[in-house]
Each structure stands twice: as structure tokens, then as C-alpha cells.
Amino acid sequence: MRSSVAVAALALAALAVLGVAGPASAHDQLLSTSPKDGAVVATVPDEVTLTFSDLVMDAGGEANQVRILDSSCRPIDAGDATIADNVVTQRITQPATGPVTVQWRVVSRDGHPVSGEFSFTVGDGPAASPSCAAAAAPATPDSGGGSVLPWVIGGVVLVVVAAGGGYLLATRSRRTDDQ
């Protein structure tokens, strides 16, 4: 009888710990850009758009950045990028010909920064390849893992279940001794 109570308590503890585990969260992914990576366009577009797999957090300040650089790695963008749901838009106000590099960093819905770059070419010529890596926006250090709350709740539940199982075992053995 004791073993069945112990097994039940252990199963309950496992269920409690696994039951409070939060869903896995993945960083947002860049789905598409306009202009497309590697595209050759006749003239400089008025803006560049980046479409992500989920909502982009508007964290303010310099958390979300899109830098557009000409073939000499000089910025040709103007102002801050705008965010509308999962689409980030950056205006272009300067002329350019040749390779253009777009470097981006946004805060994904899970709170972690994601970044990357792509390129396109303005005018005739071969498709561009990224060449302004050193001019990227300053990186924000990753703050580390996710929330600690599920672990705290899981620990509390585990302690409560273990205490309840111990209490049941103790009262059950007292009843057996009394008989």
C-alpha cells in the first residue's frame, strides 16, 4: 500500500512540474524584404520594408534599428524605422548607385534582439554582396534566458506535493500501527 501512495505522489509531482512549463518561444524570423535580397533595381526605392514571422516589439530608443548603407558604407536612410505589427519600414532619402547594404536589428516578441543584413543593387551591374559589416548598428548584449517564474512555481508545487505525499505516508503508517 505504501508503494502505491509513493508512486501516486511521484506521478503527481511530475505532472505538476511538467504542467507549469511554459510554451517554447522562438525568436522572430525575417520572412521577406522589399527590395528582395540580391535584387537589382533601376532606382533607389523610397523605403525598405522587412516582414517578420511575428509582431515586432516597439521597444523605443535604439532597440530597433535599420541602417541602409551605400557602396561606400555611408548611411542613406533617414529617421527612425517605423513598426506596424510584423512589418518594419525604413525611409531612404539619399541617392545611391551600386551595392546597397541593409543592416537590421529588432526586438522579437519574446524580448530578445534578432539581427541580420541583406543587400540589393541600384542600377545596372552584378547583384550586391554585403560589404559594410563593420558599419552595423551597435549590438545589444543578450540578457540571457527567459523568465524564472515557471521554475519558481514548479519548485513551490513540487515542495507542496512532496509535503502532501509525506503527510499521507505518515498518517497511513500511524493508522497501520494503531491497528
- How would DSSP label each residue in 10-55? HHHHHHHHHHTPPPP-----EEEEESPTT-EESS--SEEEEEESSP
pLDDT of residue 145: 45
pLDDT of residue 142: 42
pTM of the model: 0.61
Q: What's the rounded Cα separation, in Å, for the pair 153 and 45?
A: 51
Using DSSP, state whether 81 is helix, strand or coil: strand
- What are 67-83's pLDDT values in tens digits? 999 999 999 999 999 99
pLDDT of residue 144: 44
